[in-house]
């Protein structure tokens, strides 16, 4: 793996990081500019659709005949991004699992604070099941806030008595909106993107007076018992590293099968930089193999 690649990426991210004092509308504009400059591979198709009442983006890779579905939750601290902006990274997950990806366009804060995103995520999953998808053919995936939302949706689905999917893959999960992780401080200098300050500015947009330690807001505090296998990836150069570690520990303590995969020297959601970072492609390959194995195993059990 290339030290030069990591150093170049760090420099680029430090130059492009959002100003801490910028408001939501400005951050949304900057993110749109950033994602619009990134083209999708020619063999990837993205189509607007819906699961029940929830808008989604259906992402398919040409040449595959997917039997499996990845229900994907985008990042953006619950206030930024959309289902289409996540298509580049989501398609890489689909490519490696030979699955169709359905990216959920859940409502965003501050216009729609908690529990809007949680409700939309569960409604999308319930609609997918209602349309005939077998739980054993479904996996969840997500990055950052979407990773936290994926875990919260597993917990929420369990509480509502819905059958759970085969597995979940989360990248740099934002799983503690109380911002209590020790790496908020110990990784402060190493993280080129995030800090306690720029996260805190958006927490209240989402929680809107609710306790940030509620399990469906911060799944690091939730009861994770009975969940399907989890694949958790993070980089060592991110303030949210401790979210991933504590989430994995919480899952393991609850007898959930969990794989914690930490890549040294890389930033938050480093997988998104797969075109320029060897570690990103390698991590996606590892996750794809595990996710495919869990889907195949669940399929055998269901049969």
The DSSP annotation for 120-137 comes to HHHHHHHHHHHTT--GGG
Give the position of tokens 């306790």.
Answer: 211
Q: How would CATH label the architecture of 3-302?
A: 3-Layer(aba) Sandwich (3.40)
Distances (CA, A) of 108 to 222, 261, 303: 22, 29, 38
Q: Is 225 a catalytic residue?
A: no
**Identified catalytic residue from 68, 74, 268, 294:** 268
- Separation of alpha carbons 33 and 22, rounded Å: 15
**Identified catalytic residue from 144, 195, 218, 292:** 144
Strands of 167-171's sheet in order across: 44-51, 54-61, 99-104, 68-73, 138-143, 167-171, 230-235, 258-263
Torsion of CA 204, 209, 213, 218, to 10 degrees: -50
- Separation of alpha carbons 233 and 171, rounded Å: 5
* Residue 271: predicted pLDDT: 98
pLDDT in tens, 243-257: 999 999 999 999 999
Q: Is 238 a catalytic residue?
A: yes
pLDDT in tens, 61-84: 998 878 899 999 999 999 999 999
C-beta separation of 122 from 156 below 8 A: yes
Q: Is 68 a catalytic residue?
A: no
- Separation of alpha carbons 253 and 265, rounded Å: 28
pTM score: 0.96
pLDDT in tens, 187-226: 999 999 999 999 998 999 999 999 999 999 999 999 999 9
Q: What is the DSSP letter of 83?
A: T
Q: Domain boundaries in the chain?
A: 3-302
**Identified catalytic residue from 58, 143, 238, 279:** 238
* Residue 1: predicted pLDDT: 57
């Amino acid at each position: 793996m290339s030290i030069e690649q990591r150093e170049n990426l760090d420099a680029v991210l430090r130059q492009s990081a959002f100003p801490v004092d910028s408001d939501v509308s400005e951050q949304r504009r900057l993110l749109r500019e950033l994602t619009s400059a990134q083209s999708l591979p020619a063999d990837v198709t993205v189509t607007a659709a819906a699961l029940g009442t929830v808008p989604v983006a259906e992402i398919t890779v040409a040449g595959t005949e997917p039997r499996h579905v990845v229900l994907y939750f985008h990042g953006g601290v619950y206030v930024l991004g959309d289902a289409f902006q996540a298509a580049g990274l989501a398609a890489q997950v689909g490519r490696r699992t030979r699955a169709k990806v359905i990216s959920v366009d859940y409502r965003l804060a501050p216009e729609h604070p908690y529990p809007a995103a949680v409700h939309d995520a569960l409604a999308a999953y319930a609609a997918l099941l209602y349309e005939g998808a077998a739980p054993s053919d479904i996996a969840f995936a997500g990055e950052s806030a979407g990773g936290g939302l994926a875990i919260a949706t597993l917990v929420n689905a369990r509480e509502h008595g819905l059958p759970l999917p085969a597995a979940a893959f989360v990248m740099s999960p934002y799983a503690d909106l109380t911002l209590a992780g020790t790496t908020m401080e110990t990784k402060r200098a190493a993280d080129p993107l995030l800090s306690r300050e720029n996260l805190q500015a958006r927490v209240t947009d989402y929680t809107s007076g609710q306790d940030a330690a509620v399990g469906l807001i911060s799944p690091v505090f939730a009861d994770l018992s009975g969940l399907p296998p989890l694949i958790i990836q993070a980089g060592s150069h991110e303030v949210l590293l401790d979210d991933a570690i504590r989430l994995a520990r919480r899952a393991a303590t609850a007898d959930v099968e969990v794989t914690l995969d930490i890549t040294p020297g890389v930033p938050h959601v480093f997988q998104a930089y797969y075109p320029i970072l060897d570690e990103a492609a390698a991590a996606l390959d590892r996750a794809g193999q595990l996710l495919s194995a869990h889907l195949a195993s669940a399929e055998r059990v269901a049969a």
